[in-house]
Structure 1
């Protein structure tokens, strides 16, 4: 029993459990992708209905995130994590036994709610356990597991579907969920309650630095997702890519993001979060227009690796900076702060494909990418300018105070 208590208090234990939770969430998210043709044929679903099925995850995730973030800050992380797992298991079993598109959509909505529990209470628990100087590296490690789950989901789902039919991928994930449930039940514990978490939670949504981070996350997610509707057709027409090539190329972006995230977290702990994310925005801005220049799949893979790495430098530092903002405002409301990240990311994932596809239709792919490039550069430079003006204003106040 003493050994179990010691394990609960060890931050590494919590990091492993949360990383496993994130991995399973993204594994289930991606495992559905190769099964989409089966849904189309079995339920005679149109492309619009399939789009709704895929997109309703982001919808429920966006709605549930601030609610579960507030509940986690007020009543504790562990309870939210456990109930989130129950919802995830229900979602997975509903996927396995669904006999209509309506039930599949309900399952996908529940999956988004379960993910919201992990991405608020889970990340907040890591922030509770790690001091500010080590948060960036820990949160970056979690993002690596997110990328691993995203990368493995589609190929594992397709392979299991071919081997054992429609239900096997979901039974496979259900086994992982049960193991994860035991880990959450016995290896997680709530940190001491912070009395002012409610008041801090209200301040978060009005804080200028938090709002600036919201913009960074939204633009980072938009810049990545803008490629999803326009590049597959471009690859097919200009590089002769087939569906497997396209999957590998997008997988390279995810792989780069996962590989860079721990490094970005480590650098943010040592060099500062703000400078790193602003530099990441500039690198991302420069790399986006390059994706239409290569004339071979190998060179295209190299450019997309750069895009994924840049996204890692943009998004990873936002997590410890949000935690730092909570500390500055009074502490405790970490789940609410990470709800800001999740909401911004969800909005970016919704806006990016719509804007990217629209601009590509009206103008061209290159124009769409140059416009995104311009927006990223303007935001990075204006954020630096605002920060400089705030510093100058503080110096003036100090000087006046001395006089």
Structure 2
């Protein structure tokens, strides 16, 4: 018996390592820690590279870059196609050659635009599967930015039409990766009660990229030459690539690197990580798409994408036909829509965290109906000035319709997982969001172009607004807290408890911290 006690005494007298917390003894990973190899020293600029602020800006830069690269081609596509078909060098005269063969150029340009949506829809399932298969987001994000760089190089030096098609397809695949992994990166590193605000701010970089990319493409093309827009895109891609290379993800870094900063949270983080070391896919695609709240969220995404992509070409044609605006003036007018949309994304995300997704979505849908109809009222007989506040209202309300989608997708994933620490299906759910958005981008221009040419811009606005009407009952029934229009605010004690146990895999802990919602 004495020998037995002497064999235990040295173990209990071992001095605590640096950063040791007494709470560790309650976790089952203690035995594993006793055999763990010495931890490597912290990397250079560790605090900066692993900070949530830097992680957010990495995701935001990726989203902005992908949108900028995508939107910069909108005003250039007809001229690029015309250059390829005519075999001419790029010069200012090429901009006037398009009208001579507008039908053929329009058809080829439409195919070029459609290839982007095909790439988006094709890449989304793969990156959704990959995002759930591996824990590290950096590797897929690097693949995405490399595809974007390859697409830019092909656009710069293309001499055949098929090269343009391949480049546009690669851009779609790249954006599928960026959207899926950027959303997952934010979900991995922020508490569940902050996701609405953080996702809202992140998605605000989409209209920001459009606002910068649309006018930049025309200006760079006309002033500096054909390759200038793609050189600008490459600069943003290189910055994005560097940020993705130096980022440090908490889900893959050693626990001890974080314990000195935030012991309780990161001990839980390591526990979750250890549980996922042998991650096996349990949630299937069918299990995800049978969730009513996920289906409604995807439907809302299709509607928002259809309306936005429907207005993009037709609004410019409306401004040109009614008030004789040129391309530069149309770009300036669109700022009235995009700036409020950027602000509304963050504000509505914060409102989703505070009051719930149901009330934010319903109010936004109700207000979006008259806002869309009102945009079709001003004509050349009045003035374009009344259109400015209507565009601003449209930007605010449409962004408000999109903001509740991201926390709702997270709750749908949490409902399918049995464990509160399991995040399986998260990347695939955002891949479904990508596919829904790409579907809306395909439907919008075709539908809007047909309606605009047949019955006019006003009735196009009326038609698009009816899509919001159809979403209201579904949102009321399936989104947010069942039976409650407004989410009840948690007590301060409950909120403190949640803040202690929320970790980098916070999206997957919705089931435990928001059990009423799930």
- Check whether TM > 0.5: yes
Q: Which moved more, 1:116-125 or 1:167-176?
A: 167-176
* 1:301 corresponds to which of 371, 383, 388: 388
1:302 CA drift (Å): 1.3
**2:192 is the counterpart of 1:132:** yes
After superposing the two structures, state which structure 1 stretch, 276-285 or 209-218, moved more. Answer: 276-285
Give the match for residue 111 of structure 1: 171
Question: How big is each residue's C-alpha offset from its partner over 1:122-150, in whole Å with a ceiling of 9 and x where there is no partner?
Answer: 11011010111111111112122222211
Shift of 1:71: 0.6
Which residue is 1:19 aligned to? 60
Offset at residue 385 of structure 1 (A): 4.5
2:288 to 204, 228, 231: 204
Residue 75 of structure 1 is aligned with which of 131, 134, 138? 134
Give the distance between the partners of 2:218 and 2:383, measured in 1 at CA.
27
CA distance, structure 1, for counterparts of residue 78 and residue 117 of structure 2: 21
1:335 aligns with 2:418: no
Check conservation: 1:59, 1:112, Cα contact below 8 A.
Answer: yes
Q: Cα–Cα, structure 1 residues 101 and 160, in superposed 2: closer, same or farther, change >3 Å?
A: same
Contact 2:361-2:475 within 8 A present in 1 as well = no
Q: Distance in 2 between matches of 1:356 and 1:160?
A: 29
Name the counterpart of 2:408.
321
> Offset of 1:390 from its aligned partner?
6.0
Deviation at 1:99, TM superposition (A): 1.2
Deviation at 1:89, TM superposition (A): 1.2
Is residue 419 of structure 2 the alignment partner of residue 359 of structure 1? no
Once residues 241 and 233 of structure 1 are traced to their aligned partners in structure 2, the CA distance between those partners, rounded to angstroms, is 9
Normalised by the length of structure 1, the TM-score is 0.90
Once the two structures are superposed, residues 294-353 of structure 1 have per-residue CA deviations (whole angstroms, 9 ceiling, x without a partner) of 232221121111111111100022112212222232242321111122111111121122
Q: State the distance in 2 between where 1:326 and 1:64 align.
A: 21
Give the secondary-structure state (helix, strand or coil) at the position aligned to 1:149: helix
Structure 2 contact 215–328 (Cα < 8 Å) conserved: no
Name which of 24, 45, 60 aligns with 2:119.
60
The CA distance in 1 between the partners of 2:78 and 2:290, in whole Å, is 45
Q: Which stretch shifts more, 355-364 or 171-180?
A: 355-364
| Alpha-carbon distance in 2 for matches of 1:373, 1:163 | 39
**Offset of residue 18 of structure 1:** 0.7
Q: Structure 1's 121 and 190: CA in aligned 2 closer, same or farther, altered over 3 A? A: farther
CA distance in 2, matches of 1:32, 1:204: 34
- Report the equivalent of 2:219: 159
Matched residue SS, 1:166: coil
SS of 1:34's partner is coil
CA displacement at 1:22 relative to structure 2: 0.8
Q: 1:123 aligns with which of 171, 183, 189?
A: 183
Which residue of structure 2 lines up, in the alignment, with residue 272 of structure 1? 356
What SS does structure 1 have at the residue aligned with 2:385? helix
Residues 96, 237 of structure 1: alpha-carbon distance in 2 compared, 3 angstrom cutoff: closer
* Runs of 5+ consecutive residues of structure 1 not aligned to the other structure: 393-403
Counterpart of 1:91 (choices 148, 151, 156) is 151
| Cα distance change on mapping 1:152 and 1:232 into 2, 3 Å | closer
Distance 1:387 1:78 in 2: 32
Q: Is the 8 A contact 1:235 1:241 kept in 2?
A: yes
**Cα gap change, 1:325/1:144 in structure 2, threshold over 3 Å: closer, same or farther?**
same
Between the aligned partners of 1:373 and 1:146, the Cα distance in structure 2 is 22
Larger radius of gyration: 2
Judge conservation of contact 2:124–2:180 (CA < 8 Å) in 1.
yes
8 A Cα contact 2:119 2:169, kept in partner: yes
Change (3 A) 1:38 1:375: closer
SS at 2:325 equivalent: coil
| Shift of residue 2, structure 1, vs aligned partner | 4.4
User: Structure 2: how far apart are the matches of 1:160 and 1:353?
Assistant: 25
Asked if the contact 2:214–2:331 (Cα under 8 Å) also holds between the matched residues in 1, the reply is no
SS of alignment partner, residue 428 of structure 2: helix
Q: Which residue of 2 aligns with 1:288?
A: 372
Residue 82 of structure 2, aligned match among 38, 41, 54? 41
**Residue pair 2:204, 2:341 contacting (<8 A) in 1 also:** yes
Correspondence for 1:145 among 205, 216, 226: 205
- CA distance, structure 1, for counterparts of residue 230 and residue 47 of structure 2: 34
Q: Which residue matches 1:371? A: 463
Of 136-145 and 1-10, deviating more is: 1-10
Are residues 3 and 347 of structure 1, via their aligned partners in 2, closer, same or farther at CA, if it must alter by over 3 Å? Answer: same
Shift of residue 254 of structure 1? 2.3
Q: Which runs of 5+ in 2 are unaligned?
A: 1-41, 86-103, 252-272, 485-518
Q: Specify the SS of the correspondent of 1:189.
A: coil
Q: In the comparison of the two structures, how many residue pairs are matched?
A: 392
Deviation of the 1:90 alpha carbon? 0.9
- Alignment of 1:259 with 2:343, yes or no, is yes
